[in-house]
A = this chain, B = another copy of it.
């Protein structure tokens, strides 16, 4: 089941630089683990923004929440979730 997720990151200017670097490193490792397992299908940087657009393929809402809630950068993020469905124009569905 697919979800589009926009994540806007706003790290406080006074966050300890070591904590910041460590959190970003853990975020990257966490994301890559989920990409490899297939649940985090796409991650793109929004050009000129500290934001990404991601596509998740998960079993249900519970799993989506579990993944996002445990993002190391979650406390510094604004998150928008859009549940996705198949589009009738998608050629993957076409039998023409």
The 7 lowest CB-CB distance pairs between A and B, nearest first, are A65-B85, A44-B84, A48-B68, A47-B83, A47-B65, A48-B81, A61-B83
Task: Please tell me the size bucket of the interface on A.
Answer: 35 or more
- Minimum C-beta distance from A42 to chain B (A): 8
The interface residues of chain A, by DSSP majority, are classed as: mixed
Q: Which chain B residue shows the least CB distance to A69?
A: B48
Partner of A48, one of B2, B64, B86, B94: B64
Give the residues from 1 to 36 in chain A that come closer than 8 angstroms, CB to CB, to chain B: 1-5, 11-15, 27-28, 31-32, 35-36
Contacts of A46 in B (CB 8 A): 4, 82-85
